[in-house]
Structure formats: C-alpha cells, structure tokens
Structure 1
C-alpha cells in the first residue's frame, strides 16, 4: 500500500533479484540517494557503495524479515526508510532507519516515515524498536550515555527520537587508521608482542566463502557476537549460526564481488576458533577498508588475542589491498579492551553514533 500526503509518498521498494530486473530502477535510485545522505551527514565518502555491491546484502534470508520504502516528495526521491525484524524464536525487537536528504528536513517527511515504521512493527507483534543514528560533532548541550562512557550532542536527531519516547542506551565510536609505512611498522611490533603472549594459539585466515574446516568454528564466534559484544541496554536476540547461515552470510560478499578476509585465532589444543576479525573492501581496492566484526571468546580473553588477530589482519592487508590507505571500525565506548587495542595500533576517533531504544506500549 502506498501512503501519500501533501506530495509525500512512502513507496514500498521490493529488492530486485538482479540489476537488470524490470523493477530495479527504484533500487538503483535508492543507492544513489543513500550515498548522498551518508556524505551529507559524515562529510566523507567512506560509506559509498555501488548498487551491485549492495544488492546481495539486501536479498531475503530466513533470518530477517526486511522491509524498505523509498521516500518521495512531489515524485522526487529524497530518502529511504527500512525496518528489519529478526526471525529468531520469540523475537520482540525491530531495527529501523529513516535517512533523508538535508533539503527534505523540517517538512514532516521524517515524522511520516517513522509513523509508518512504528505502525508496521506493532502490526508484526514487535514491542521494542531500536535504531542507530550518527551524531556529528556540534557545540551546545550533550547527552551522556547511561553506561557512563561517551556522549553525543543533543542535536536535531536526538530531539526527534526523545520526542517519540526513545532513550539513548549506548554511544559507539567510529575510528579510522591511516595505512602507511609508519603504521605497518607499529602494527608489526604489536603483532610480535601478541604472538609471544599467545603461544597456545595459531593464526588462520581465509577469504569468503569460508573453507569447510572452519565453518563450524566461524559460526560459533559469529553467533557469540549477538551475546558477548557490549550492547548496554540494546536488545539483540541470541543467534544460532549453522552451516547454512554461514553460507548465506558469505554469499552477501561473494555475490557482490566484495572481498571479505577473516583472520582468526585457533586454540591449538582443541582446534576451536576463539577469536576473529573481518576486513572488507569492494571493487575499488583503493577505497576505504571496513573492519567489521571482531570478537574474542569469553573463555579465552587475557591472552592478547584481540591484538593478535587485528594486527595480523592489517599486515596481511598490505598484499590484499595495498592501495587502500584507510581503515574504519566501530566500537562501543564502554568496550575499553578493544579501544585500547585500536588506539595502540593508531586508530583515532572520527565520529560517534547513538544507539536508541523504545519500548512500545
């Protein structure tokens, strides 16, 4: 059903199977505006992606019910809205986004899009809505995270969310690392020290798709991301990762032509994978590299495994994408062990996101 009011249309956007499909035009236009919105907010192009790279990531899966709307005013695309509903048994959460061009702000467009999202979430039986919002640095009052770590400006986005009953639960730091000779020399020193502290473990690595010998172990540590990563008051369902889910995850990258390189620590005595990190880059090997999930299993913390896998991954990246000169990553502000690793490697803060939550009545 289309929703229209005073020139506004919230048009459902089915995800096409290919870019050649008859219904692909709306998707391609959405990606163009998505990139524009991210550049307007952040002031950089680190999050740019091509339609061909994004399309596989949005294909339907058995694990999440995903809904998308293109937001148009007088027939012109000004943004997008989306709602993700995890399909774990008993899930009560929904994750949403409304992203608009700056020239569409202040016209009731965001309000209308959000009201649609909350209505659909209620109809689907969800009782908790959560969203992640970039809060660029600005002067004026600030909001402190209830964790006691980090703050964000009490800006327009924060006011929008608070007016609708949302509470700030967590602050997440985006950090960046410049890849140059000095950085690699520093990383090599940290890798040597981490190796000396972790003699009960060996390093293994691979590019997606995951080799059969590592599928079970990779699934175990990926599942732990939903339960063991610092989440403050944000709710995540405990996920189960079998071989099918690992394969579906890997296809998002392989089908997009994006390179996903996994570096992991394997416990020598048991053969278990107990720590890992992921580096990702698209077709343009000179573009920004994204460090995605990183985790050390609880039972194996205290052996410098986080530094081990991160440093090893960065040194391997010299051969994989030698022209990429920048890596970005995200960490909860209360995740001091991981931030200590990043800061030692040379990562510096760039911006902050707020993680917001609302309990629906």
Structure 2
C-alpha cells in the first residue's frame, strides 16, 4: 500500500452562502476539479456544472448529512471526497465518492481519501457503503455483476474498489439521444402511446411544483427507491412530503437551472401515476439530463413510460431548442425502460458500475489492502 505523499491535504470543504462570498474559493476549486475529473473519465464535458449551479445541492437538508472534502497536493486541488449519510429511520447506508485527477493516481492519495470515507461511515454506525463509478472502455478482463446483465472492464477503478472490499452489484448504461433532428421518430411514438393510454392524460409543469401536484409527485418520488431495479444494492424507503419536494425543487430552481416534469394522470381519479424529469443548466445550449422516470406498478401496461418520455421530449424542443442531446442512466437489467429508450433513439455511450461493501463491524477500523490505483468515483 502506498503511503500518503508529502504535501497531501484533505480538508473539510467550506460551503459558502453564495459564490461571491469571500470563503467560496475552496468550493469553486472543488467544482473545477470535479468538472476536470468527469471530462477525463467520460471524454466529454456534458457533466460540467458552474459553481453557482452546483452550490444549491449542498444546502442543509434534514434528509441527509453531507460531508465533503477538497483534496490538495502541494497546494493544488486534485480531487474531492464526499460521504452522504441518509437520515431515514433505521438506515444502514452511506453513499460515497472519491474523485481524483489521473495525474495523482497510484501515489497513495486515493488510499488516504478512502480511509476518510470508511471512518466517517463507522462514526455513524453505518455498515453498508455504496458508490458509483464510470468505467471507460479498456482492453483486457471484464467483470459481470451478479444480475448477469452488462459488464465493465477490470480497470484501475475496479481494482481500487475490489482491493477495499467492494463488490460490483449492478451495471448502469449511460445513453444519449440526439435532439438535433427534431425527433420525428418520437412524434410517431408519442401518437401511439397516447392512443394506448386510454383513461390517462399527460400533464406538465416546470419546477417549482404547483400545489395541485405536490402530493402526487411526492408519492411517486417516494417509490423510486422501492420500484426501480436495485440488484444487490440497499436503498432506504424514503418519506417524501411537501417540504421535501420544495427542498428538492429549490436545489434546481435556486441554481437557475430549468426542469420540466411530465406526468401521467389517471383521469377518473386524478391520481398521478407516472413521471419523467428533464433538467438543463443555465446555458440552454448544453446537454440535457433526464433524471427520474417511473410508472407506478399498479398502472403499468398502458405505455405510460413511453407517453411521459415522448411528451416531455417534444415539449423540451421548445424549452431548449439548442440543446444537442439528452443523457440518461438505466440499470442494464431494466429491460422495460431500455426498450423504451432504444425505441426513442437513445444509444449507449458509457457504463457505470454500482459497488457495495458491507462492514462486518462498524465500530472497528478496517484494514486497507490495496496499493496502486485510485478511484475517480461518480
């Protein structure tokens, strides 16, 4: 195992009130290094965010405790560390990341950063550590998750995680849809889905969520952790109410970002039963992100997934007509959603691994056995 190099500092991240505050320098540096790591890993800048766009995500939230650190080597920012501790009753989980510039891989920086992750989990009595990491294409051996769906290369990121006791649980496909052709295929699919969705209608809103949709939207958001394929990962059943919806909305609205929610409403009862989210940064010429999509299990089989995706995409052409593409993430075993995406025209551009470690005893220190590579995280 490499000893931490001289000149390494991992210091708690100061969260400024605004980006213009005198104490915002570290947050700005963290955002910059985050963007560099994402570009190094994916080969594109679609994951980029400006500091002012990222800052609302660090606002205090009673649903989780968020720890963040800036990693510096000889005074230069080279990465970041994060640990999120959900506050749902009975939770055993933490979600973590270690993201480092490639220039410092293999120098013991990742070892020191990960030790901080595990000690934080133990301090909260948590036994399950979970993280996501993008694995760019590379030659050589590959790893398959227990689901049997998808694979990733056995690269330096995978070795780093394996050496620290993590197991690959799930592979997620990163897909992109080209928006520049006006989506004629989507218009046809939208017409078919509308015809099949007898007894349902599409409704839309931009965040913040209007009062008449808050309760239904909150219920659907609470089902994301229970109804989506999770493989061997552990997720808490989340409690969503109007206050939590408002906090989630504010993380996007306060950043000046634009978000469109398209939902399917059961016309007889008025119940919201499916939804899709599209989000873009302040610059409407950048890539769009497709966030959550869900159809409640009791209302599946009516092409509602296709309906909310297609109606949303067609409306998006008016909201962000210069956005070149939409990015989305789906578990490789989530064939129903992948079928919809493929029909619409999404194509794979990358893969993430979802990794999990279970601590046998959260009160004792864990032994690191790895050496040569550092995770870029997710």
Alignment TM class, shorter chain as reference = over 0.9
Residue of structure 1 in register with 2:134 after alignment: 134
Q: TM-score, normalised by structure 2?
A: 0.93
Residue of structure 2 in register with 1:276 after alignment: 275
2:362 aligned with 1:356, yes or no?
no
State how far apart, in whole Å, the 2-side matches of 1:129 and 1:161 are. Answer: 11
Deviates more, 1:21-30 or 1:150-159: 21-30
Residue of structure 2 in register with 1:313 after alignment: 312
State how far apart, in whole Å, the 1-side matches of 2:145 and 2:199 are. Answer: 38
1:163: Cα distance to partner? 0.7
Residue of structure 1 in register with 2:244 after alignment: 245
Residue of structure 2 in register with 1:261 after alignment: 260
1:333: Cα distance to partner? 0.2
Residue of structure 1 in register with 2:344 after alignment: 345
Report runs of 4+ in structure 1 exceeding 6 Å deviation: none
Which blocks of at least 5 consecutive residues in structure 1 are unaligned? none
State how far apart, in whole Å, the 2-side matches of 1:305 and 1:14 are. Answer: 43
State how far apart, in whole Å, the 1-side matches of 2:283 and 2:338 are. Answer: 28
State how far apart, in whole Å, the 1-side matches of 2:228 and 2:98 are. Answer: 25
1:180: Cα distance to partner? 2.6
Residue of structure 2 in register with 1:63 after alignment: 63
C-alpha RMSD of the superposition: 0.9
Deviations 1:313-336 (A, max 9, x none): 000011100001110000000000
State how far apart, in whole Å, the 2-side matches of 1:46 and 1:109 are. Answer: 26
Residue of structure 2 in register with 1:304 after alignment: 303
State how far apart, in whole Å, the 2-side matches of 1:86 and 1:5 are. Answer: 32
1:14: Cα distance to partner? 2.5
State how far apart, in whole Å, the 2-side matches of 1:253 and 1:142 are. Answer: 37
Q: TM-score, normalised by structure 1?
A: 0.98
Residue 16 of structure 1 aligns to a residue whose secondary structure is: coil
Which blocks of at least 5 consecutive residues in structure 2 are unaligned? 361-378
Residue of structure 1 in register with 2:20 after alignment: 20
1:137: Cα distance to partner? 0.8
> How many residues align structurally?
357
User: Which of structures 1 and 2 has the larger relative contact order (alpha carbons within 8 angstroms, sep 6+)?
Assistant: 2
State how far apart, in whole Å, the 1-side matches of 2:101 and 2:312 are. Answer: 36
State how far apart, in whole Å, the 2-side matches of 1:294 and 1:153 are. Answer: 28
Residue of structure 2 in register with 1:106 after alignment: 106
Residue of structure 2 in register with 1:287 after alignment: 286
1:120: Cα distance to partner? 1.2
State how far apart, in whole Å, the 2-side matches of 1:268 and 1:26 are. Answer: 50
